[in-house]
């Protein structure tokens, strides 16, 4: 199977699935995430995509092939969101810090500030829980390159070693804030009295995470 890299993780329409293939991937993201791979039948997938069962084999070879295509779509869409902040490597600490902030804000808006990512999040939570082959694929094509990029930016912004254990841990902690607001969205909405966590609420969360980010960066630079 073709593996994606950071440079290929874009939202360019030429790389987006189309037609029946796109409908089947959408069905897979939804049903695999809600029911799990084993409990999702090819008949249910075809019905959700308004197509016939044979089209799964035609487009993906098998149900497992569709599952892996769903992983590729996760990498494509999340990578495209992050790439919107820029793919070059900034030259100065200030510009690197700003790039990290831009990436965090885009992640909050995409993951927590809209419902477009619900099936992607549900699918990945299920894959993480099952620790299966798709997690390996997404880790190598999207998660690890994304984390390494954050670490490289962190090194420019702070003067720290990019691949030190301390840098890798602190980057996980920064990204983890975004993930909490998505996974814990129903709790956040209830506690804040929000009817929904939309773009305006995501912007306020982004302001908070940006302030946290710059406080941590300031601390890292002075230690």
User: Is the model's pLDDT at 154 over the cut of 80?
Assistant: yes
Q: What is the average pLDDT value for the chain, to the nearest integer?
A: 91
**Encoded tokens for 95:** 């510009």
pLDDT at 115: 83
User: Is the model's pLDDT at 105 over the cut of 90?
Assistant: yes
pLDDT at 5: 40
pLDDT at 16: 86
User: Is the model's pLDDT at 221 over the cut of 70?
Assistant: yes
3-state SS record for the chain: CCCCCHHHCCCCHHHCCCHHHHHHHHHHHHHHHHHCCCCCCHHHHHHHCCCCCHHHHHHHCCHHHHHHHHHHHHHHHHHHHHHCCCCCCCCCHHHHHHHHHHHHHHHHHHHCCCCCCHHHHHHHHHHHHHCCHHHHHHHHHHHHHHHHHHHHHHHHHHCCCCCCHHHHHHHHHHHHHHHHHHHCHHHHHHHHCCCCCCHHHHHHHHHHHHHHHHHHHHHHHHC
pLDDT at 4: 37
User: Is the model's pLDDT at 59 over the cut of 60?
Assistant: yes
pLDDT at 133: 86
User: Is the model's pLDDT at 12 over the cut of 60?
Assistant: no
Q: What is the pLDDT of residues 168-208, one digit of tens each?
A: 999 999 999 999 999 999 999 999 999 999 999 999 999 99
CA distances from 43 to 85, 124, 125 (A): 40, 22, 23
Mean per-residue pLDDT for 160-166? Answer: 97
Of the two residues 83 and 155, the one the predictor is more confident about is 155
User: Is the model's pLDDT at 114 over the cut of 90?
Assistant: no
Q: Binning pLDDT at 50, 70 and 90, where does residue 6 land?
A: very low
Domain spanning 6-222: CATH 3.40.50.740: no
């Amino acid at each position: 199977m073709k593996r994606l890299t950071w440079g290929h993780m874009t939202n360019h329409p030429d790389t987006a699935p189309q037609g029946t293939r796109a409908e089947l991937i959408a069905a897979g993201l939804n049903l695999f995430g809600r029911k799990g791979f084993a409990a999702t039948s090819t008949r249910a997938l075809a019905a959700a995509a308004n197509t016939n069962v044979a089209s799964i084999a035609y487009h993906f070879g098998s149900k497992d092939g569709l599952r892996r295509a769903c992983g590729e779509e996760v990498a494509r869409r999340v990578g495209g969101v992050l790439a919107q902040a820029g793919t070059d490597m900034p030259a100065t600490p200030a510009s690197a810090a700003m790039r990290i902030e831009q990436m965090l804000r885009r992640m909050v808006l995409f993951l927590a500030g809209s419902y477009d990512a619900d099936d992607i999040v549900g699918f990945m939570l299920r894959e993480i829980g099952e620790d299966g082959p798709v997690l390996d694929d997404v880790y190598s094509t999207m998660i690890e390159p994304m984390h390494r990029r954050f670490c490289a930016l962190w090194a420019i912004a702070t003067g720290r070693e990019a691949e030190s254990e301390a840098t890798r841990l602190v980057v996980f902690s920064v990204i983890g804030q975004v993930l909490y607001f998505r996974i814990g969205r129903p709790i956040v909405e209830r506690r804040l009295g929000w009817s929904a966590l939309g773009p305006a609420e995501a912007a306020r969360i982004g302001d908070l995470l940006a302030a946290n980010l710059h406080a941590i960066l300031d601390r890292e630079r002075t230690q």
